[in-house]
């Protein structure tokens, strides 16, 4: 019995053996070592600078949002009125009396069609230019960039005369065609950099297995190019959504978009500041929602083209 008890009792540890560290202790030590070395003053200075930058960025939007909830007499008060009873009368006037919904529908429809057509045309073009290493490919990209850099008026006037001749003036179809033509170079450049960051071994492996170049592009490249396509789609939609000069010249009543409507309404009704503020907030909210929904893909798409391989 004594022998069995001796076998069950663990052998005593030497007195100088340090206690075994747990996994949590090891992780805490690693996090502590990974922390950047800096004083608390430096960290709080960085937080202060970020707070000031955020205030400057969000301040105008918050100011307009508050003005849209005030009465006209409070919106024009100096110094500003901070204690007031919120009202949505400005939004009711904007949506029901001014027909804001029809202009919003025009803008969203034109922006969505412009984005879809631009991606359908730009994706294969950008892929071809990313794999075509001849010097002529660079010249094509440079010519596209020069066309994108032209002043809007130099591009809009020829389209205006063509629209009058063809009878497409003041139509959504005309706006979509012109916006695709104007913004296509930007979409091609953005997607070309993303496709160039993808290794060529992807489609080469697919072609070894029997795919054609187009089949490899459709089955292999496009599925992994999701972040780049979403990024290009968001920026193309933003360019079409906030375009002012092209709709101003090529529309009159039926196909007027939000930027033109808000500019005309602000000029004619400068005294109705709450309604103008409500229009600005209603114009910005769809964009804010779109960016928030696509922010994960935007970060991946914008950083993917920074490195190659």
Q: Do the beta carbons of residue 118 and residue 178 sit within 8 Å?
A: no
Task: Indicate the angle between helix axes 100-131 and 226-241, nearest 10 degrees.
Answer: 140
3-state secondary structure of 7: helix
Residues forming CATH 1.10.3720.10 domain(s) in the chain: 100-304
Report the chain (309 residues): mean pLDDT per 10 consecutive residues.
49 53 61 58 84 83 86 78 84 88 92 94 88 72 77 85 90 93 88 84 81 83 85 90 91 90 83 86 87 72 50
At the top level of CATH, the class of 100-304 is mainly alpha
How far, in Å, CA of 232 to CA of 184, rounded?
10
Enumerate residues 6+ apart whose C-beta is below 8 A from 298.
227, 230, 231, 234, 291
pLDDT at 177: 93
What does pTM read for this prediction? Answer: 0.76
Q: Do the beta carbons of residue 205 and residue 219 sit within 8 Å?
A: no
pLDDT at 205: 83
pLDDT at 308: 47
Of 97, 178, 182, the C-alpha closest to 147 is 182
For the chain, give the percent of residues with pLDDT over 70: 82
Instruction: Read off the pLDDT of residues 141-168 as tens digits, 9 standing for 90 and up.
Output: 777 777 777 888 888 888 999 999 988 8
How far, in Å, CA of 306 to CA of 304, rounded?
6
Instruction: Give the Cβ contact number of residue 260 at 10 Å.
Output: 23
């Amino acid at each position: 019995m004594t022998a069995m008890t001796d076998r069950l009792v663990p052998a005593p540890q030497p007195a100088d053996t340090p206690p075994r560290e747990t996994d949590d202790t090891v992780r805490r030590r690693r996090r502590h070592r990974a922390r950047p070395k800096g004083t608390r003053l430096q960290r709080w200075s960085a937080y202060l600078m970020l707070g000031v930058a955020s205030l400057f960025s969000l301040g105008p939007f918050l100011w307009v949002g508050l003005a849209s909830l005030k009465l006209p007499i409070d919106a024009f008060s100096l110094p500003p009125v901070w204690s007031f009873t919120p009202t949505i009368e400005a939004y009711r006037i904007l949506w029901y009396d001014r027909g804001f919904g029809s202009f919003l529908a025009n803008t969203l429809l034109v922006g969505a069609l412009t984005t879809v057509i631009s991606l359908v045309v730009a994706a294969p073009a950008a892929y071809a230019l990313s794999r075509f290493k001849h010097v002529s490919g660079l010249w094509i990209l440079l010519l596209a960039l020069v066309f994108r850099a032209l002043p809007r008026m130099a591009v809009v006037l020829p389209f205006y005369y063509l629209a009058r001749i063809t009878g497409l003036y003041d139509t959504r179809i005309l706006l979509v065609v012109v916006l695709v033509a104007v913004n296509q170079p930007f979409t091609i450049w953005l997607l070309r950099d993303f496709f160039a960051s993808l290794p060529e071994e992807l489609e080469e492996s697919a072609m070894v297995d029997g795919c054609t170049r187009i089949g490899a592009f459709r089955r292999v490249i496009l599925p992994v190019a999701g972040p780049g396509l979403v990024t290009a789609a968001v920026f193309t939609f933003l360019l079409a959504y906030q375009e002012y000069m092209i709709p101003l010249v090529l529309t009159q009543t039926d196909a007027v978009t939000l930027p033109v409507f808000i500019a005309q309404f602000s000029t004619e009704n400068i005294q109705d500041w709450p309604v103008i503020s409500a229009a600005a907030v209603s114009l910005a909210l769809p964009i804010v929602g779109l960016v928030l929904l696509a922010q994960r893909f935007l970060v991946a798409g914008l950083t993917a083209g920074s490195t190659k391989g």
